[in-house]
Amino acid sequence: MTSSATDPHPRRRGGHLAAIIAGALVLVIAAAALVGGGVVIAADATQRDSDGYYASGVRTLTTPTHALVSNGLDVGTNGPDWLFRQARLGTVRVTASGTASKPIFVGIARKPLVDRYLRGVGHDEITDFEVDPLSMTTVRRPGSAAAAAPAAETFWARSASGSGRQTMTWPVQKGAWAVVIMNADGSRGVSSGVSIGAKLGFLHWLGIGLLIAGATLAAAGAFALVMGMRRPRPPATGVGGATQLTTT
């Protein structure tokens, strides 16, 4: 005769192990969301200037040609229209400094219009840039044609010109765009202290969303972990609580 007593500490079943693994993974994702949300909110609170922009420092940019031109700013041509209304995606700010003897011009326009305006005009094309610190990589586009005074043109979406610090702000819109920095009279030899900034209103709400998602996931992960670590109930005993015996 052999007897088989019920194990007082039954092993966890596959479902419990799966819950433990899933709970641990969810907690890792939750921790990443909470850290990310905290970083975003901290940056939004401490890294903006008094006007609410994330801005680079001022860097003096020079070219012996007629203009400095960004190499096309392509913005979400396949994105939904509502995303670009009322500067929801953000606002770009470019500042450039001129002098009394050489007033400066800074403007933004559709890239095809800028290409047509500068056709045959020597200029430096900005192919890449870093914000902190501000640095740019340019390619020289030679040309012998004279440039018309930029402020006299009507195709600019936003522009500013004059002596001293000139600021151009542009609510981000869908399409292909180009930023242009020139002397106000279109002459050769551009030298200007330039700063680039962006106002990203959605970052604050992105940070809050990450914190809420992280907290929700943390609660779900903790619940799954607790449920997985609970030992399953032992099977029922015989009548009166006596241990069942198996006789052979």
Measured distance CA(109)–CA(137) in Å, rounded: 21
Cβ 27 vs Cβ 222: under 8 Å: yes
- Quick one: pLDDT at residue 11? 54
pLDDT tens digits, one per residue of 112-141: 999 999 999 999 998 877 766 677 788 999
- Predicted TM-score (pTM) of this structure: 0.64
Residue 2, pLDDT score: 46
Task: Burial-class residue 139 by CB neighbours within 10 Å (0-12, 13-18, 19+).
Answer: exposed
Find all residues with CB under 8 Å of 164, minimum gap 6, and list them: 97, 98
Beta strands 123-130 and 175-183 are: unpaired
Compute the C-alpha angle 43/44/50, nearest 5°. 115
